[in-house]
Amino acid sequence: MQIETIGNVVAWSGEFHRNFATFIESSVAASDDERTKMLSGYIADHERQLAKTVSTFDHVESDNALGTWCTEFLNKQPLPDTSTKDEEWATLSANQLMDRVRDIHEQLIALFSHLLSRYGTTPAADMLEQLLDVEEHQLMLMTHSANRLEDL
């Protein structure tokens, strides 16, 4: 996907979360660890919910925010790729899986923070702040729930 505007970032983010849900389920499906499989299903559900939440930004945000150009900023921030199944994920423990998921979400948070720092007080900044809050909140929920699963 060619990312040139904040609207493209929102669309990419929603698609990323949908793909990440499928990636996690398919990559962990062959795992022998039942706890890891349970966690992967839980994370996939969160990713799908996050994709739905992010997709609403396209409908409620102004064209001023969504049309803001951001190409030059994205050239400095790599975007995580989860487009193909990774068999290595099936060998991960539940803790290792959560560490990988946390790392990927922290990359997204860093990207949104980077973009937010560039826009001052604009409609694009307001929208990026909301997107950042959603990402941080969902990561916190997933981490908390993964910790509760570990306690079982």
Q: What is the mean pLDDT of the chain?
A: 81
Mean pLDDT within 112-123? 79
Indicate the class that CATH gives domain 6-151.
Answer: mainly alpha
**In this model, does residue 61 exceed pLDDT 60?**
no
Report long-range pairs for 22-25 (Cβ below 8 Å, ≥24 apart): 23/82, 23/83, 23/84, 23/85, 23/86, 24/89, 24/97, 24/101
The pTM for the full model equals 0.80
Domain residue ranges in the chain: 6-151
**In this model, does residue 136 exceed pLDDT 90?**
yes
pLDDT of residue 80: 64
Residues 77-101 have pLDDT tens digits of 566 667 767 788 889 998 899 999 9
